[in-house]
């Protein structure tokens, strides 16, 4: 569209209405001859010096004050451009005073040696340090003063060793210990925040992978953090569950931690959490798991009796007869307690009197595919059957024999479960 005026903006070429026909050889040759004839050759360079342009005369002009100015004369030449001033060269005497000439191994074309020039660098002036002067000089300074010799024996040994010591830690930093310390300190400072207490117990449990890690937790105040969390948030089930699980993990990794747990006063808090949240799955499961981990050491059975741990686990199983997670931890605990030959018959009679045998048998019939639970249940019934009163109670219950036979006929269960049922 921009035909009548010069448009500064570029436009895309419109599509051609007809496809162009290919040119013949004659037409191409004719266009080539026309183009070559129109091209003008470049003028040769003239060797004569260039002449300045001649200005044409101009008419008189009137200035602002009314006076007429004379026109420029024809043939007037412009004034030549002044040349730049060249700096004078220095004499050899001046150069020798400034430059030090030394012979080198370089040669020119004729085989003569070439002398190189080196400019001497200014010597740096030492900076004065602020502050009190040293009582004894450094070892490096003393070596320079004695022309490279070692420091005299008169200097004290501390002065020599300080400058030769390398900076940096000599031992590898304990990354796990530093993480535990930061978590515990944060939880102790913000004990009123239940979310921080919950995350602190969870993170501490994940960092405990060995008996040494469990000792670190105790040494850094981890048990104090757990006790404060359980006292400050007795109604927050998530905090109590995480605290019980962390205690169980510490005891699994290092059974010697039980003395520190007792001294911190945590066992009464754990039993109190089981009583206040009797039907909460995670609180009861983790608490029974703690008693189970404690029951593997026969020396701690008296401590369990002293804090009524057996009664707490039995009551938890009675309150939750359909939750196999709690029943599994309780069955492992009963299996370990009854396995101790020094256990009194009153403990077995108490378990039988609370109706634990029918609860376990009914749960086995209700969860026939839970291998871990069935193995724990059969182990508990096997150890209880050693006692005459418990054996008669197992035989008198009507569902015991059919349930055990169904386990033996099952094709899903593994060999260990079948062995325990036998």
What's the CA gap between 164 and 153, in Å, rounded? 16
What's the CA gap between 419 and 331, in Å, rounded? 17
Tokens of 20: 């162009």
What's the CA gap between 377 and 364, in Å, rounded? 7
Give me the pLDDT at residue 162, please.
Answer: 45
Q: Among 153, 163, 242, which residue's Cα sits nearest to residue 195?
A: 242
In this structure, the strands spanning 68-69 and 100-107 are unpaired
- Helix (H/G/I), strand (E/B), else coil: 283: helix
- Provide the sign of the torsion angle of the four alpha carbons 171, 174, 178, 180, taken in this order: negative
Give me the pLDDT at residue 406, please.
Answer: 84
Q: Is the pTM of this model over 0.75?
A: no
What's the CA gap between 190 and 246, in Å, rounded? 19
Dihedral angle computed from the Cα positions of residues 318, 324, 326 and 329, in that order, rounded to the nearest 10 degrees: 110
Q: Among 337, 384, 386, which residue's Cα sits nearest to residue 356?
A: 384
Half-sphere exposure of 361 (CA within 13 A, CB side): 22
Tokens of 98: 């400034």
Give me the pLDDT at residue 295, please.
Answer: 93
Give me the pLDDT at residue 89, please.
Answer: 65
**Local confidence pLDDT in tens for the 422 residues of the chain:** 444 444 443 333 344 444 456 667 777 778 777 766 654 455 455 555 555 555 555 555 555 555 555 554 444 455 566 565 555 666 666 555 554 444 444 555 565 655 555 556 666 666 666 666 655 555 444 444 444 444 444 444 444 444 444 444 434 448 899 999 999 999 999 999 999 999 999 999 999 999 999 999 999 999 999 999 999 999 999 999 999 999 999 999 999 999 999 999 999 999 999 999 999 999 999 999 999 999 999 999 999 999 999 999 999 999 999 999 999 999 999 999 998 888 888 899 999 999 999 999 999 999 888 888 988 998 899 899 988 999 999 989 988 889 888 877 776 566 555 556 55
DSSP string, 340-387: -TT--HHHHHHHHHTTHHHHHHHHHHH-TT-HHHHHHHHHHHHHHTTS
Give me the pLDDT at residue 71, please.
Answer: 52
Tokens of 82: 């002044």
Q: Are the beta carbons of 365 and 407 closer than 8 angstroms?
A: no
Q: Are the beta carbons of 71 and 57 closer than 8 angstroms?
A: yes
CA 173 to chain CA mean position, Å: 16
Residues 6+ apart with CB under 8 A from 293: 248, 251, 252, 255
């Amino acid at each position: 569209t921009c035909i009548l005026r010069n448009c500064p903006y570029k436009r895309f070429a419109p599509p051609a209405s007809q496809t162009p026909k290919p040119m013949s050889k004659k037409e191409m040759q004719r266009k080539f001859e026309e183009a070559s004839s129109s091209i003008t050759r470049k003028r040769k360079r003239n060797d004569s010096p260039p002449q300045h342009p001649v200005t044409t005369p101009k008419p008189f002009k009137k200035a602002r004050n009314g006076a007429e100015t004379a026109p420029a004369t024809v043939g007037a030449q412009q004034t030549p451009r002044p040349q730049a001033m060249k700096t004078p060269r220095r004499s050899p005497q001046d150069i020798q005073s400034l430059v030090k000439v030394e012979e080198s191994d370089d040669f020119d074309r004729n085989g003569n040696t070439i002398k190189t020039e080196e400019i001497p660098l200014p010597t740096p002036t030492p900076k004065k340090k602020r502050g009190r002067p040293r009582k004894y000089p450094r070892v490096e300074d003393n070596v320079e003063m004695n022309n490279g010799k070692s420091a005299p024996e008169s200097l004290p040994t501390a002065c020599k060793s300080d400058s030769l010591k390398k900076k940096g830690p000599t031992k590898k930093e304990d990354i796990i210990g530093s993480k535990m310390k930061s978590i515990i300190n944060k939880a102790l400072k913000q004990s009123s925040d239940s979310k921080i207490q919950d995350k602190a117990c969870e993170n501490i449990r994940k960092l405990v992978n060995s008996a040494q890690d469990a000792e670190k937790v105790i040494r850094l105040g981890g048990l104090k953090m757990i006790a404060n969390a359980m006292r400050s948030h007795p109604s927050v089930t998530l905090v109590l569950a995480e605290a019980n699980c962390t205690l169980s993990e510490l005891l699994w990794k290092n059974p010697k931690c039980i003395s520190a747990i007792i001294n911190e006063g945590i066992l009464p808090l754990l039993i109190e959490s089981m009583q206040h949240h009797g039907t909460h799955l995670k609180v009861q499961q983790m608490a029974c798991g703690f008693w189970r981990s404690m029951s593997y050491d026969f020396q701690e059975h008296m401590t369990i009796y002293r804090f009524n741990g057996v009664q707490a686990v039995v009551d938890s199983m009675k309150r939750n007869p359909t939750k196999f997670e709690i029943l599994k931890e309780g069955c492992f605990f009963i299996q370990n307690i009854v396995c101790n030959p020094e256990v009194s018959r009153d403990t077995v009679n108490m378990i039988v009197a609370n109706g634990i045998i029918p609860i376990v048998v009914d749960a086995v019939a209700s969860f026939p595919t839970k291998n871990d639970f069935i193995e724990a249940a059969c182990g508990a019934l096997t150890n209880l059957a050693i006692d005459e009163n418990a054996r008669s109670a197992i035989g008198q219950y009507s569902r015991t024999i059919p349930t055990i036979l169904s386990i033996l006929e099952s094709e899903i269960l593994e060999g260990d479960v079948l062995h325990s049922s036998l």
